[in-house]
Structure 1
Amino acid sequence: MSDATLTTEQAIKLLRELASNDGFRARFEEKPAAALVELGIPHETVVNLRAACLAPLKLAEKAKFSSAMKELGDSAVQCVDKMIIPNLRLDYGSRS
């Protein structure tokens, strides 16, 4: 099964580590699955990620991850900013 995804919070945490933590970056390059579990992402989620997400790889420079983290944060803010909060009327039908 390969249909798992990271939550926004998990993705931001991952991007933050990839943007700043050299030790984590080295571990992620060698064993992405182990690094994700180290980050606190549940094992069940990790094993259900697409295989390409778990293959060893050479990471981009830290600045790319910083930029991606900012973009992700900005898009989350925009999503919340557009949310319409319902306004309930509890006195509907009552006559005073």
Structure 2
Amino acid sequence: MSGSRLPKEQELQLMKKLSTDDDYRARYEKSPADALKEIGVSDEQISALDTAALKPGKLAEKADIATAHGKLAEANISEHVCLIFPLMRLNYGDDGSDKTA
């Protein structure tokens, strides 16, 4: 089993299409690899994915995929928010000092 994943933006794009586009869903159920190519996933990226995930099959309901899309999009935002470090002032009561950490 491969641990390779699509870049987050492509995952979001895929989930959006699978949760809104019935024709794309039908094509994905028949041939996931061909459907991935439609949204710009390269042959190299596809070959790195788990082969079990590329087998034809029935997809989850659109609403379930939409919920997962929302969670993935929110996770992306919170990752960026967590990278903002507050600036701690060290100059309280010290006139003329502008020390920060």
1:68 matched to which residue of 2?
A: 68
Write the distance in 1 (CA, Å) between the matches of 2:4 and 2:44: 9
Write the distance in 1 (CA, Å) between the matches of 2:35 and 2:75: 25
Deviation at 1:3, TM superposition (A): 4.3
How large is the RMSD of aligned CA atoms in angstroms? 1.8
Question: What are the equivalent positions in structure 2 for 1:39-58 lying under 5 Å apart?
Answer: 39-58=39-58
TM-score w.r.t. the length of structure 1 is 0.83
Equivalent residues of 1:18, 1:25 under 8 A apart: yes
Write the distance in 1 (CA, Å) between the matches of 2:47 and 2:11: 16
Displacement over 4 Å in runs of 4+: none
Equivalent residues of 1:4, 1:46 under 8 A apart: no
Aligned AA (2:5): T
Write the distance in 1 (CA, Å) between the matches of 2:46 and 2:4: 8
1:29 matched to which residue of 2?
A: 29
Structure 2 residue runs of 5 or longer lacking an equivalent are: 88-101
Bigger radius of gyration: 2
Structure 1 residue runs of 5 or longer lacking an equivalent are: 88-96
Count of residue pairs the alignment pairs up: 87
Give the fraction of aligned pairs with identical amino acids, expressed as a percent: 37
Whose relative contact order is higher, 1 or 2, with alpha carbons under 8 Å and at least 6 apart? 1
